A and B are shown apart, each in its own frame.
Chain A
Amino acid sequence: MSEQAVEERTALKVTEDSCSSCAVCSSLCPFEAIKRDTETNKIILEIEKCQVCGICYSACPAKAIDVIYYDVDSLTSYLERAKQEYKSDTLVIACKGSAPDLVGVDKLFGVTKFIPLSVPCVGRVPDEVFLKAIVMGINKIHVLGCDEDYCRFERGSSVAGRRILALNLLLEQLGYGKELITFKRNSLKVKVDADSCIICGNCVFYCPYDAAKLESPGTVSFDLTACRGCGLCVAMCPAQALELENWEEERISTLISKLSKEMKTPKIFIFRCQWAAYPSLNGALAPNVRFIDLPCASRVDILHILEAFRQGADGVLIVACAEDDCKQEKASGKAQHSVEALIKRLSQIGLQDRLHFCTVAPRYPERLDEELAQFSEKIAAIGSKESKEQ
């Protein structure tokens, strides 16, 4: 056996042999995770800083960067499958940040039938994928990115905007007509129901962006330009007077019921920050495990966790980013605090071991699986909740 520790698989790798040291990657990286060494001229990736936005991958002219999620091969094979499934020549590529589950995208682009492709950041989709889609016979591509100041990867949306501009010029020259690809921006923000507000000020205290203001006499208002859509205020509002667009309480509750019906026991629900681990494009899931993606772990709602238990969940796993990776202002720590408080309350009715909070990062693609395996083992050891209720 080798004495050297086995190196953990990472989501991104630079192949030295192919790299031309052009440093396009380092000029685009929003997190200063990839740099050209001034002495050796080699490109060095500091994986601990990498947030796996995929922008470097999408821009590398030498194809010297490999990425695990949403690379050209997996995107192309998805498109081939999806084109058959959805029987459409229109493709909609949307960032999860501004269109989770592509709800409302049809209205935004005025399309009814389309091939949906949900990606964590549209800035990571390389030219090649657009071109391959067109070769497949797709004749209209709508792209939805986030507003620039809302982009979770800082530059992803602007990279996509520039790329589409250039692609459209190229396609027009090739005779495909004007604007085969359209690009729109969106962002999902807080909504206030002033009638339900009890002027408690929780949102003012919790908002990491100072977007909530409590003004005398008794009105709460939000500066929507400052709101970054983390959902922390929504989860903390004691009056349920707040909602986050597209992540409404009701919508998530309905999803819990729907998923619960199709799950085998022991049922494990995973509430996942959509930036902490990326869903697979293949969609293969264990029959007893279902994910509920969240805009940030801080949107995790105690009521949704309890709803999952009421719907028969045997275990609920909360998957967040570590505070240093949090795309919001260290909002994941607030989520942890709420979950831990709930675990204390659950301990009064013997359910404390069925709820667990963990942090993972997409840079280590196997960590979520490890967390899930550990948690599943624990749940299997405790046994099914239903059987204990008999």
Chain B
Amino acid sequence: MIVTTQKPLDEVLDYISPYKKVLIVGCDGCTQPPRGLREAKTLSQLLELGGKLRNKNFKFKTTTTAKQCDSYLTASALKPQVDGVDAVLSLSCGIGVQVLAELFPDIPVFPAQNTHFMGAEDREAAALEERCVGCGECILALTGGVCPVARCAKGLLNGPCGGAENGKCEIDSTKDCAWVLIIQRLEKAGRLDLLKEIRPPKDYQLKGWRITT
């Protein structure tokens, strides 16, 4: 899922301050933690309270979308709701914001989130961690299901840099060294032989920018 964090309220207030009627659009899709109807309403109340302190009386409407990145679904869900709205605030990842901007070229669209990465959720630790960079050339079959492109600070493809200490990355002692994890997993599976083959640099052309289905 795509992991986002909330922008500081001051930044959002700056974006919307020239406007009065603002539609806040949640996303029920993969944005984590979910920023659906509840977050839309919560944000509207926080911005209303914050606005009062700036002598601004915003009028908020709140709604949500199933998947804001799906322009077809989003268009049909939102078209009836943007009437008379001065600005739109999106709770989606950066993709949803751009979809809204394309759908409604006459209305200013602002992000309420910062988009970070594609990640996995560890609910017990209340944490989300990056797992995939979308490189277009998945090598997880060769690396014991641990992605060195996303999880090694240096993105190394042929083994560890040698800087790991106690299994942690030398640039961040709280982060697991991806290559230590890979070696542990391959050792357990009896497939350390996979590491003998030297892997050429990744072909970033495969990442692509447009795929037709």
Contact = CB atoms under 8 A, between A and B. Distances in A.
A303 B37 contact: no
Interface string A184-217: 0000000000001010101001000000000000
Contacts of A238: 28, 33-39
B48 interface: yes
B141 interface: no
Contacts of B38: 237-240, 302-303
Nearest to A386: B52
Contacts of A388: 53
| Interface residue range, chain B | 20 to 34
B33 to A, nearest CB: 7
Given A200-B34, A348-B9, A349-B9, A306 B53 contact: no
B151 interface: no
Contacts of B36: 198, 200, 238-240
Interface in A85-137: none
B28 A198 contact: yes
A389 B53 contact: yes
Interface in A339-388: 345-346, 348-351, 388
Contacts of B66: 198
A307 interface: yes
Contact of B123 (A205, A309, A310): A205
Contacts of B46: 306, 345-346, 349
B173 interface: no
Nearest to A239: B36
| Interface residue range, chain A | 20 to 34
Contacts, number: 65
Interface in A296-335: 302-303, 306-307, 309-310
A239 B8 contact: no
A349 B49 contact: yes
B81 interface: no
Interface in B17-76: 28, 33-39, 41-42, 45-46, 48-50, 52-53, 55, 64, 66
Listed residue (A237, A238, A302, A350) with the most chain B CB atoms within 10 angstroms of its CB: A238
Contacts of B123: 205
B10 A351 contact: no
Contact of B45 (A200, A239, A303, A348): A303
Contacts of B48: 310
B9 A239 contact: no
A310 B45 CA distance: 7
A389 B52 contact: yes
A22 to B, nearest CB: 48
A198 B45 contact: no
Interface string A233-255: 00001111000000000000000
B184 interface: no
A306 B9 contact: no
The 6 closest A-B pairs by CB, nearest first: A306-B45, A238-B34, A349-B50, A198-B28, A348-B9, A238-B36
Given A302-B42, A389-B55, 4 more contacts: A200-B28, A205-B123, A238-B39, A303-B42
25 contacts: A198-B36, A198-B66, A202-B34, A205-B123, A238-B28, A238-B33, A238-B35, A238-B37, A238-B39, A239-B28, A239-B34, A239-B38, A239-B64, A240-B38, A240-B41, A303-B38, A303-B41, A303-B42, A309-B49, A310-B48, A345-B9, A345-B46, A348-B10, A349-B10, A349-B50
